[in-house]
Amino acid sequence: MKINKKIINFRGIKFFIEQDGKEVARAFLYILKNDLHDEPFGFMEDVFVAEEYRSQGLGTKMIEELIKTAKQNNCYKLIGTSRYPRLKVHELYLKLDFKDWGREFRIDF
């Protein structure tokens, strides 16, 4: 049997906050599609707030806007990942109604 390939296009949206011409916070939303659902799903990646700007609500505001955009794009779910030691990030995600749903596995190249 042969494994076939088909290119599937996706859309990426970068959210960012600038202060004095410097990017101090960012997050990416990727709108993806698979064959399991008619609707797309969102993948949230590279959520970052510069250390000196943390605890000011910037991450919360940015993720809330990202969630709103995922809903506007008819995503049936939004996936966000975080490394184990990032407990404050986990608290933020839970506060924003994310569920602790599973584990992430990866290979670095």
Whether the per-residue pLDDT at 104 is higher than 90: the answer is no
Asked if residue 63 is part of any domain, the answer here is yes
Residue 103 lies in a domain: no
Residue 109 lies in a domain: no
Report if residue 35 sits inside a domain: yes
Report residue 84's pLDDT band, with 50, 70 and 90 as the boundaries: confident
What digits encode the pLDDT tens for the residues 16-75?
Answer: 999 999 999 999 999 999 999 999 999 999 999 999 999 999 999 999 999 999 999 999
What range defines the domain where residue 44 resides? 11-95
For the segment 73-94, the average pLDDT, to the nearest whole number, is 94
Domain count, the chain: 1
CATH code of residue 18:
3.40.630.30
Q: Is 6 a member of any domain?
A: no
Mean pLDDT across 76-87: 93
pTM: 0.91
DSSP E strands: which ranges in the chain? Answer: 11-19, 22-32, 41-49, 78-80
